[in-house]
Amino acid sequence: MLNINSTIKLNNATAMPLLGFGTWQAKDGETAYDAVCGALKAGYRHIDTAKFYGNEESVGRAIRDSGIAREEIWVTTKLWTTDALNPEKAFQTSLDKLNIGYIDLYLIHFPVPGLVTKNWLKLEKIFEGGKVRTIGVSNHSIAQIKSILKVATIKPAVNQIKCSPYNYDPEMHEFCKNNGIAMEAYSPLTRGNNLNDAKLLSIAEKYKKSPAQILLRWCIQKDIATLPKSVHENRIIENADIYDFELLDSDIVLLDLFSKFIE
């Protein structure tokens, strides 16, 4: 039975909570701090940030102040494209800003043309430094991951991509599964854009859950880690309240097809 502590096992034997908390556009300072405090209070144990979000200091402060043991919280941050020539320095800066001892997952935020494999090898070096438990990629295509796999000593553990029923890529999902790479969904709520879609509303009505909860439950039932973001306490709680129902297989198939209806 899935619950808020359910994890996905990664290819290096670490276990990442399926439900994560997104922080993009959670403004640095009290907004990001309060949002992360609220998420930890609501039971999330996986926080997603990035150098690019500019809020690592506030995110780290909230984690330190939570009183929750560091090893109980999974923390992801990311290498930004403009740091591609010096990933070691960027990693150290993120580590210093977060100030939580180590990072659970460090991702290449976007592939940089011409540096895809070079950057991966640099991430492997960072991993050898012992301050990050897991390394992976984000926004990488199948072809880019294949080129990484040709040179890698350490396989990427995760590909974090935009994913919801409205832009589901079954081919990427299958590729990740076949290669032992966990798929992680960003913008799982479509940034709020499709929450009033009639197709989604009718499924939500059937389960007596909100459209956001249906989208998130779809992810976790497909073993896709998911990262809803909100800076509102009621929504933070709502987005974690997805364990008292189960989508029927037939509804998952229906949701899988939503992307086909986009004109």
Ligand X SMILES: NC(=O)c1ccc[n+]([C@@H]2O[C@H](COP(=O)([O-])OP(=O)(O)OC[C@H]3O[C@@H](n4cnc5c(N)ncnc54)[C@H](OP(=O)(O)O)[C@@H]3O)[C@@H](O)[C@H]2O)c1
Q: DSSP assignment, residue 29?
A: T
Task: Considering only the stretches 18-26, 61-69, 122-130, 252-260, report the one whose residues sit in contact with ligand X under the rule CB under 6 A.
Answer: 18-26
227 binds ligand X per the rule CB under 6 A: yes
Euclidean distance between CA atoms 168 and 172, whole angstroms: 9
**Of all residues in this chain, which one has the CB nearest to ligand X in the complex?**
22
Euclidean distance between CA atoms 173 and 79, whole angstroms: 23
Judged by beta carbon, residue 128 or residue 245, the one nearer ligand X is: 245
**Which residues, 6 or more positions from 249, have their beta carbon under 8 angstroms from its beta carbon?**
none
Catalytic residue among 33, 44, 53, 166: 53
Task: Considering only the stretches 57-65, 123-131, 187-195, 246-254, report the one whose residues sit in contact with ligand X under the rule CB under 6 A.
Answer: 187-195
Is residue 53 annotated as part of the catalytic site, yes or no?
yes
Q: What are phi and psi of 75, to 5 degrees?
A: -125, 125
77 binds ligand X per the rule CB under 6 A: no
One of 97, 134, 239, 240 touching ligand X (CB under 6 A): 239
192 binds ligand X per the rule CB under 6 A: yes
**Which residues, 6 or more positions from 83, have their beta carbon under 8 angstroms from its beta carbon?**
51, 89, 90
CB of 49 to ligand X, least distance (A): 7
Residue 201's Cβ-count burial label (10 Å; 0-12, 13-18, 19+) is middle
One of 111, 136, 156, 228 touching ligand X (CB under 6 A): 228
Q: Give yes or no for a contact between 80 and 49, defined as CB atoms under 8 angstroms apart.
A: no
What residues make contact with ligand X under the rule CB under 6 A?
22-24, 48, 109, 138-139, 160, 186-192, 195, 210, 212, 227-232, 235, 238-239
Catalytic residue ranges: 53
